[in-house]
Chain A
């Protein structure tokens, strides 16, 4: 078993009186490819944002790389691809290179200069996602799938140990989605990057992830098996078997 990258213990979080997460505990282990699933409003994105320290739980503790999240400062180790990654201001006049370079901040620090070696890191990240040729293109003029790859490169440029993604395949076509999962598999297996992904598309992550965290009614159900083999829990989370949101298989 690998080292714990993220550990949350007994966390509770709610909006008003409604508890979205009720005494939830779990961990992200080095090398994991985790899918976080659950119905709308079940707290998937909330849990991810708690992992990132963007939301503070009302109760419980969050540790990242064995450090209390309040004291954690090595943010370059964590990559994040938000739900709105591809719904940014499309008119923003930035090139692919400029967008990816922005995330060199954890590497170069406050008021630090971007040097040639840093530019090589940008090229390397773009090479991995297959977007090196579009380096000088304006990011707003790319397709949704290409923009998604740029945001993955942006996350990769700080050499993260874990990448957290919030519904990363929303708004991209089926072909782009397929190549996205291929890329994720490559990053997880070949580059050893731990992946945590919030998704609605249970069918797509089936057989791709090694662990499934299912949120329902404030509780978290955890599996180390593929989705299709965890149907009892999904039945509990989503209701009747017939209504399970297994979307498609290729």
Chain B
């Protein structure tokens, strides 16, 4: 193993960090926003809503992300209807295909995590909201959703780490993020270990930051668990 080469590769691969971060941030924030109504639909008493979200989750969680990425990138483009419609403006770009696949994937997992959080809200909490005269909007925005989010935080943290790792797969549809650059470096100088160790260390550091961020959020949203001095 050549240590100098690892350092050289490190500075080449870090140029792809902004692409990786773009993918992570856009797909996670879109996924977060979409997952809230989805998880409410999942636990709703309207059968058709909860069933359709259930089947969506079943399909997405039962297939590998790579299949979903290929299906969107190669599969959708093969439908003439899609090629002729306005969707093609977005879907001809590999970047947006990648984002679409990542969002579809993360929404399925995040919805299940949020559902767990929502179901941890006890009946007593809802009853006390009602007895204080809150309307539905205030009850959800001030009590139920924040409490559910707090319960869901550890699971959501795992999902964030999984998303950072998942972005490496879009390198297979020609997006040049960190894994893509590392693979190109390997093809150029055929020193695979040096290239992938450099890339791996950046991912490891990114995930370390995510873990710290989740720890901060857990500290912020659990004031009752803080040690007082």
Do chains A and B interact in one complex?
A: no
